[in-house]
Structure formats: structure tokens, C-alpha cells
Chains A and B, each alone.
Chain A
């Protein structure tokens, strides 16, 4: 990555009452990139997010936002951040609009026009003047997103953002995040349990377990290449693959073969020569879920590390 990271977590540790919840976390987040944040329950996701938003102070380490330390330069650093921590808790006894007005007053340069604009973006125009207590969870999520976007943040932190959204809402939301990431260069950090959601939405995933970062990788970049080949008769195809020393495993009606891309035509012509009928040859990707479970070892709730 050539660009400067907009957010840097530098050696963040957090110890509460002798329990080390987060251990020396280092994460860089770049403009225009959507990073997913995964981890089993109790891994420290929310604690990390709280430290990134100034709700908690790290025991050690620094959070740098756009070159400013969150600890030393709080007001300026946080003004570039839009946040939804867990459920967007709003003042239920006020209307959605009054809630937005309330938060807008806490930022510089958020005009009434900007509020209208954001309301339109999240699709709440029709209900914005009703009390939040009458909103559904999905509508509250939309309002939560609206308050996070009010001040055009450079960095957006979202904790479980699609929780409660309907399928159309999720899709809309995903498109919208993509749009602001690509067009405005906003860096987005999304934590979610919905792995398929993260897979569709993110460019990168960071995986945390037991308070330690265990992996941070780009999605859709293959480390080694696998192809799924479906051909009949089966045993003949298998024999042929074995003859040429390819590693493969049976899956569904075909085989997942470890093979380089440039070797594919060769294999196909070999199959054709042997009279094997080929139905499908396609790149095979492990789902994020597979990868996640592999990395976290089944995802049990981690025991807190005692010091």
C-alpha cells in the first residue's frame, strides 16, 4: 500500500483488573478501504473499537488518526471519526430529526441542509419527524448511520452495522459504504459476526482472538490457487489427476484441485483426449467462514488471559 494510513493502532494493549484484554495490537487502516474486523465472542473487538473512539484509554500504545494522537489531541482527532458503537442508542423520547440536530450541534459546520441530505441518503425522510421510540431496529440503524455521517468523517467505525436491516437495506448499505469509500476516500472499519456480509463488503479482514491480532489479509487474493473441476466419469478423471501428481480432494460431484492457472488448458486437453466429459472448471475459493474457523480454531469463547 503506497498511501499513508489514516488510522494507526500502535502497540495497543489494554489491561483491566489484571486481565489483559488486548495485547499489542497493530493495525493500519487506509483511505478508501473497507476493513472487516472479525473475532469470536470475547476476543476484544468491542474493547478495541472503544479505544479507537476514545471511550477507553489504552493501557499502553497509541491510536493515531490522520497523524494526530487520539490521547493527546482528542477533539481534533475525533472530529474525523464517525462512530456507531454496538447498537445506535438514540434519545428515544425525541424525534429522529431532533436527535440528528443534537449531534450536529456538537460538530463544527454541520448545517441544516447537511442534515436533510444525510436523512435522504439513509432513506428516512418519511419518518424522521417521528419519535425514535416508534422506530424499528432497522430504522434505528439507519439513523445511527446518519449521525455517524453528519460531519463527513474520514474514518468510519461501525460495530455490527447491518444488525436488524432488511435484505434490501443491507444491500443498500453495502453499496453506500462502497460509494463513500471509493468516491470520498473514507476508510471504513466494520466489525460483524456475519462473515458472508464481511466477505461481500470488505477489501481486507483483520482477525482477532484472545486480544491478539492473528491475521490481517486482503480478501480475494489467493495464496495458492485451487480450481474446481467437474467431469465424468469420475474415477477416470481422478485417475488422470493422480497420474499427473496434482493434489485434489473430492467435493460435491467433482474435485478441488491445487493447480496453477497456466496449467489449466493442459489439463483440459488431457481430459478431452481421454474422452472425459468436462462440465465445469472454475476457480475455487475457500469461503471466509472456512478461513475464519481455520484461523480461530472453531471459535470458542476465549479464556481471558490472566497476567
Chain B
């Protein structure tokens, strides 16, 4: 099995597209970093942070006067005012846009790019063998088809993890180089107390939750790629679902069945923000549904790959 993965890894890195992905990912991190840095140096000198905090307090107080506010909104404004006052009282400047932490939180959104690139690999790793005809060479070896498919699936995940590591390491480096010097503290209200936000924990949690969408997208692309043997269909369909997934779920939200669709659950980051597309969801329930779909996708992929006649 190790040798098979080694083979897949070798093939993957001999494709130009793979290198292009890495280059793009790094560019996507450095580009916004440089832009942020540029604007930061331009704007910071205008007013002191105390003045801007005072402004924010006044603004928020103005907003509070509106009678049509919901209880939630009211609470949010109160919290913001409390935080701002805490900052002024205790001399704790807020973080400007530029800091290693905030930059890394920002590049947390790059996980979409990591997912997209991994989806491309997942979609083509099986189907490209069919379109080039090399599948005949691959399947007339003393290795069962199940093992070959497994090696391809594992290689896809290893590649995804690799991209993730690249993402984290590069954004940390870029953040350090560009914003290393700035200090600041993120604050938040917990149970009526102003406390320091655990930025790193939140980031790790965000990454972990993003894993849900990552895994499901890959398995789905892998499924379509190996069943229909068309990488473009697999990439297209996976992307389509990830963009329109929310809308589809919205449309179906009147029906009970929406709870049992993986699209409702694959974006686990909704647990982080707390705004759910569909009410009454719990983490264990979501994970169970996702697990069931994951197994289903895998079973279909394996069945079709192992049973079918190869005519490519």
C-alpha cells in the first residue's frame, strides 16, 4: 500500500498543475498580506486608538436609541460599548488589522482555496487514468482494484493535509514578517465579563470545523470522479453544490427531510458563529449524518470502481 501511495504521489508531483496550485495558494496568502500592510501604514497615523474607541462608543450609543432594535441587537451593542470602555479604562489598544493572529484568522478563509484545490485532485486522480487510458496498465497488475482506489483516496487526503500545512505555515511566516511588531489584544464578553479572546484556540477550532466541509467535498468529488470518470463534471458539481448548497437547504428548509441532507451539515462552522440554516441542530447529530453520507459516498465509489468493465 505504501508503494502504491508513493506511486500516486510521484504522479501527482509530475503534473504541472500541482505546482501551479501551490504557487497560487502562496500567492493568495502573500497578496492580501502585502495589501493589508500597505493600507495599514497609510491610515493608522490619522487618529489615536483612544479617539477611535470613543467614536465607536458614541456611534453605538446613538444606535441604541433606535426603538425598533431586537433584544439580540441591543445586547450586542451593549457588549461592544462595554468592551470599548474597558479598553479605555485599562489602556488596552485593540488590534489593528495587522497582526500575526488577525492575519492568520483572515487566511483561515483560505481553507476554501485549499478545499478547492484538493477537490480538483480528488476529481481527477481516478478519472484522468481513464481519459489517458493508463487505467489499463494500472489494473492489469497483481494489485486488487480496491487497493488501487484506496491508495488514490489516501493520496488525495495526504495532498489536502499538505496544502493545509502549507497554508498555515506560509500565513504564519507572512504574518510574522509583515506584522510581527504590532501588539494588541482581542477582547470579548463572556458571561458579562470582558475577557481576552483566545485567538489561537478559536483559530484551531475554526480549522477543525472547516474539516467537515473539506472531507465531504473531497469524498463527493472523488465519488463523481470515479463513477462518471469525468474530472470536469466532478469539479463542477462539487463546486456547484458548495456555492448553492446554502440556497438548496434554504429552499428545502420547510421540509423535515432537510435535516437528513449532508449539505445542511457539511458547513460545521455554523456551530462557531451559532447561526444555523436549520434550527434544532446538535453537533453529534450533524456528525452522525455526515458520517453516514461519507460511508455512502465511499461505498458507491468502491462498488463502481471494482465492478465495472474497463473499456477505456
Closest 4 A-B residue pairs measured CB to CB?
Answer: A89-B133, A79-B142, A106-B141, A56-B309
A57, A81, A85, A86 interface centre (most CB from chain B within 10 Å): A85
For residue A53, CB closer than 8 A to chain B, the reply is: yes
With both beta carbons as reference points, the residue of chain A lying nearest to B6 in the complex is identified as: A105
Question: Do A78 and B142 touch across chains, with their CB atoms under 8 A apart?
Answer: yes
CB nearest neighbor in A for B16? A93
Contacts of B143 in A (CB 8 A): 75, 106
Q: Which positions 137-154 of chain B face chain A at CB distance < 8 Å?
A: 137-144
Residue of A nearest to B307 (CB): A57
Whether the Cβ atoms of A103 and B134 lie closer than 8 Å is no
Within 8 A of B (CB), among A99-131: 101-103, 105-108
Q: Does B89 contact A (CB under 8 A)?
A: no
> A50 at interface (Cβ–Cβ under 8 A)?
yes
Does B14 sit within 8 A of A, measured CB to CB? yes
Contact call B133/A83, Cβ cutoff below 8 A? no
B310 an interface residue at 8 Å Cβ cutoff? yes
CA distance A94 to B132 in the complex (A): 13
Scan residues 58-90 of chain A and give those whose CB is less than 8 A from a CB of chain B. 74-76, 78-79, 81, 83, 85-90
Q: A56-B309, A76-B142, A107-B142 are in contact. Are A94 and B137 (CB under 8 A)?
A: no
Tell yes or no: B11 within 8 A of A by CB. yes
Q: Which residues of A contact B (CB under 8 A)?
A: 16, 50, 53-57, 74-76, 78-79, 81, 83, 85-94, 98, 101-103, 105-108, 147
Bound state CA distance, A79 and B133, in angstroms? 20
- B134 touching A56, Cβ below 8 Å: no
B309 touches A106 (CB 8 A): no
Cα A85 to Cα B11 with chains together (Å): 21
- With a cutoff of 8 Å between Cβ atoms, the chain A residues found around residue B4 in the complex are 105-106
A75-B144, A106-B3 known; A54 vs B309 contact (CB < 8 Å):
no
Question: Chain A contacts of B283 at CB under 8 A?
Answer: none
Give complex CA distance A108, B144 in Å: 14
B6 surroundings in chain A (CB, below 8 A)? 105
Taking a contact as CB atoms under 8 Å apart, the answer to whether B310 and A75 are in contact is: no
How far is B137's CA from A102's CA once the two chains are assembled, in angstroms?
Answer: 10
Question: Please, which residues of chain A bring their CB within 8 A of the CB of B132?
Answer: 89, 91-92
Main secondary structure of the interface of A (DSSP, over half): loop
B3 and A105 contacting across the interface, CB-CB below 8 Å: yes
Please tell me if the beta carbons of A89 and B309 are within 8 angstroms of each other in the complex: no
Whether, in the assembled complex, B10 has its beta carbon less than 8 Å from a beta carbon of chain A, the answer is yes
Does chain A have a CB within 8 A of B55? no
The answer to whether A98 touches B134 (Cβ under 8 A) is no
A98 to B137, CA, bound (A): 14
Assess the B7–A105 pair: CB atoms within 8 A: yes
Q: Is B197 an interface residue (CB 8 A)?
A: no
With a cutoff of 8 Å between Cβ atoms, the chain B residues found around residue A56 in the complex are: 309-311
Q: Which of B1-33 contact A (CB under 8 A)?
A: 3-4, 6-7, 10-11, 14-16
Q: Does B76 contact A (CB under 8 A)?
A: no
Residues of A within 8 A of B10 (CB): 94, 98, 101-102
A90 touches B309 (CB 8 A): no
Docked complex Cα distance between A79 and B15 (Å): 29
**With A94-B10, A102-B7: A55-B137 Cβ-Cβ less than 8 Å:** no
**Interface check B136, CB cutoff 8 A:** yes
Chain B nearest Cβ from A282, distance in angstroms: 45
Contact A90 B14, CB 8 Å, known A57-B309, A79-B142, A108-B142: no
Taking the closest CB of chain A, its distance from the CB of B307, in whole angstroms, is: 8
Instruction: Report if A147-B14 is in contact (Cβ < 8 Å); known contacts: A102-B7, A105-B6.
Output: no
User: B138 contacts which chain A residues (CB < 8 A)?
Assistant: 106
Min Cβ gap A181→B in Å is 20
B310: which A residues are within 8 A, CB to CB?
50, 55-56
A to B CB contacts below 8 Å, 8 in the list: A55-B311, A56-B309, A57-B309, A83-B140, A86-B136, A88-B137, A101-B10, A102-B10
Which residue of the partner chain, among B15, B140, B309, contacts A78 with CB atoms under 8 Å? Answer: B140
- For B11, B136, B137, B139, which residue has the most chain A Cβ atoms within 10 angstroms? B137
CA distance A75 to B140 in the complex (A): 9
A74 CA / B147 CA spacing, docked (Å) = 13
CA A89 to CA B3, docked complex, whole Å: 21
Within the complex, what minimum Cβ distance (angstroms) separates A14 from chain B? 9
B144 touches A106 (CB 8 A): no
